[in-house]
Amino acid sequence: MIDRLIEALVQTDNAAADQVLLEALRLGEQPEKLVAVKALIRRDSVSALCAVVGLYEQLPAEVQQEILNQIRHFHPALRACGRSDDHDLRRAAMKLIAIGRQAKLAYVLSENLHDTDEELSKPATEAMTALARWISTETRRFQQSSAFSGGGSGTEPAASDAGLATAAGAQVPTAELESYLAVMEARPEIEAAVARAMDVHRGRQTQELLRAALLLCDWPGSRTLAILQTSKHGGQSAMVRRLQQPPASEHVEAFLLGATHGGLRSH
């Protein structure tokens, strides 16, 4: 009977069904919350999914994981939340974009980064840095993995098409291969977003953006590394100054590539 009730709530056009399911999400026990969030995802109501975004941090881990598993269904809601007049909702959206590793929504972070309110620009920058750190950490892991080495030419962050074929031939576990493809898909989006932000941002988040940019300077084709050779780029001076100082451990690749490709001295 419960299954029939849930199916009826999913299928109805009555917006009140969203409120019933959201109430179950707020007040139910963990099994009820999981059923409710799955039903809300199936209903695909942007306003209801915005409410789910706002509730994310209060939900049990299993329910949060279901949201992350279905994160692409939340893209319209995350876009709407990222432009909401409710700043708490904006911050929740930016945090979920970072946790869910949704590089295609980096422009939502960019929009908030340039807001004059530091309560929005700071979490936007932190989310962008978190995405950059994820890409940098995973890329390093792939480079150290025997399954992903041997095919690349050294001109790409982890492996070229030949390297991917080598990985496939080595029977890399499906989950690992999916992780690799996710990082390779996300990298251009994040590199472009950080490079643009470095060019135009003049607020208090410059140092954090610089940290994100250097994290992504781990291969010769990096768009953030290209800042060093882009005339009149707004972030060039800050990057040059930082690369002429002793490196932090997470930025060693950036300093080495700055020396070989940017004409800067290394330490």
Burial 186-200, CB ≥16 within 10 A → b, else e: bbebbbbbbbbbbee
Examine residue 112 and state whether it is found in any structural domain, yes or no. no
Examine residue 78 and state whether it is found in any structural domain, yes or no. yes
Domain limits at 34?
1-100
pTM: 0.87
Q: Residue 235: which of 220, 251, 252, 214 has the closest Cα?
A: 214
Amino acid 2: pLDDT: 84
Amino acid 212: pLDDT: 97
Which own/partner pairs from 241-247 qualify as long-range (CB within 8 Å, at least 24 positions apart)? 242/210, 242/214, 243/214
Task: Please state the rounded mean pLDDT for residues 167-172.
Answer: 60
Higher pLDDT, 205 or 164: 205
pLDDT of residue 169 exceeding 80, the answer is: no
Alpha-helical (H) ranges within the chain are 2-11, 16-27, 30-43, 46-55, 61-69, 75-82, 87-99, 106-113, 118-144, 161-169, 174-200, 206-215, 236-243, 252-261
Reported as a single tens digit per residue, the pLDDT across 176-193 is 899 999 999 999 999 999
Examine residue 144 and state whether it is found in any structural domain, yes or no. no
Examine residue 235 and state whether it is found in any structural domain, yes or no. no
Examine residue 77 and state whether it is found in any structural domain, yes or no. yes
Amino acid 147: pLDDT: 66
Count of structural domains within the chain: 1
Examine residue 263 and state whether it is found in any structural domain, yes or no. no
Q: Residue 188: which of 179, 198, 196, 200 has the closest Cα?
A: 196
Examine residue 46 and state whether it is found in any structural domain, yes or no. yes
Reported as a single tens digit per residue, the pLDDT across 234-247 is 999 999 999 989 98
- Contact by Cβ (8 Å): 87, 117: yes
User: Would you say how long the chain is, in residues?
Assistant: 267
Examine residue 185 and state whether it is found in any structural domain, yes or no. no
Amino acid at 185: E
Q: What mean pLDDT is reported for the chain?
A: 90
